Amino acid sequence: MRELAVESAYVQSRLALSLRPEGWSIIVGDALLVLKSIDPDTFRCCVTSPPYWGLRDYGVAGQIGGENELDDYIENLVNVFREVRRVLTEDGTLWLNLGDSYTSGNRTWRATDKKNPAREMSYRPPTPRGLKPKDLIGVPWRVAFALQADGWYLRADIIWHKPNCQPESVRDRPTIAHEYIFLLSKSEKYFYDYEAVKEPARKPGTSRNRRTVWRIRTRPYPEAHFATFPPRLAEPCVLAGSEAGDAVLDPFFGSGTVGEVCVKLGRKFTGIEIKEEYAALARRRLGWEE
Ligand SMILES: C[S@@+](CC[C@H](N)C(=O)[O-])C[C@H]1O[C@@H](n2cnc3c(N)ncnc32)[C@H](O)[C@@H]1O
């Protein structure tokens, strides 16, 4: 990985860097600002899960997901991922995990969720224009289409089927048991290690091209009071999107799941995280500090 060229004084004043000689780094800062300071062609792939719209309050200025308007949330993500595209190699890919949500029905706050304290929001965004109370918003697809319009190639929608999904107290629709992972590429032709992610076929001892439904149990990281994705979800993304020794990016690093997977699979990585507390958690997870 090339050296991070940190140009802007503003970014420099905010950045707290943890760099490892192995090519592993965690940067504390705002994803957009930090990305602007990174050289083009630095990463082979990006595997990430941005904050979902209106679901969690991470309690930090500049956080994405707390926008009052859905369009602002989408625009902020498009801006971040435009920078991601710039820092990817020409054959690079983006593996983007997103879940959907419902309009608030014009409630303006979300009650405390005892099982999941980070879900408590001091506000709830209003129903977006054109939608009605109780509508499924379709956030993942809206983001995917906006990224496509911005120049990304939208190559696959992968369903992450969660067999142990959160129960919901609803009686007028099925319980949500899936999220999306979009595979997007910078160019028409791109690196995809088909062999590395093949799955077993029916005939014993044979394998086939991986399918678009991945059945993976959620596995919260014990110390993290926010949505983490399980290592088993990040693994096929890293395996298909990079080769050993390549550098992988996660601009919304959280507890550092992508970092852990990269260490295991022999990749370099850069994680960007706006909240120092979460970056510290990731460093502990990776055994960098007590
Ligand atoms: C859904 S969590 C990512 C969880 C991660 N995949 C894991 O497994 O731990 C999203 C993360 O994005 C961070 N975040 C929010 N806004 C950000 C921003 N503008 N720049 C960088 N990180 C941000 C949040 O603090 C949170 O840790």
pLDDT in tens, 150-166: 999 999 999 999 999 99
* Dist. CA 238–CA 250, nearest whole Å: 11
Tokens matching residue 157 = 């929608």
Evaluate: CB of 158 within 6 angstroms of ligand 1: no
pLDDT at 14: 60
DSSP 118: G
Amino acid identity at 212: T
Mean pLDDT of 228-247: 97
pLDDT of 6 over the 70 cut:
no
Among residues 196, 209, 204, 231, the alpha carbon closest in space to that of 97 is found at 231
Evaluate: CB of 64 within 6 angstroms of ligand 1: yes
| Nearest protein Cα to ligand 1, atom 1 | 51
What's the mean pLDDT when you consider all of the chain? 89
* Dist. CA 139–CA 270, nearest whole Å: 26
Q: Count Cα atoms within 13 angstroms, Cβ side, for 38.
A: 31
* Dist. CA 57–CA 63, nearest whole Å: 8
| pLDDT more than 70, % of the chain | 88
253 contacts 259 by C-beta, under 8 angstroms = yes
Q: Which of 11, 27, 60, 63 to mutate to test the pocket of ligand 1 (most atoms within 8 A of CB)?
A: 63
What is residue 110's three-state secondary structure?
Answer: strand
Quick one: which atom of ligand 1 is closest to the CA of 50? Answer: 10
Evaluate: CB of 63 within 6 angstroms of ligand 1: yes
Residue whose pair of structure tokens reads 């910078």 in the numeric block: 186
* pLDDT confidence tier of residue 19, bands split at 50, 70 and 90: confident
Q: Count Cα atoms within 13 angstroms, Cβ side, for 199.
A: 9
Report residue 192: phi and psi, to 5°. Answer: -150, 110
pLDDT at 121: 54
- Ramachandran bin of 86, using left for φ above 0, alpha for ψ from -120 to 50, beta for the remaining angles: alpha
pTM for the model:
0.92
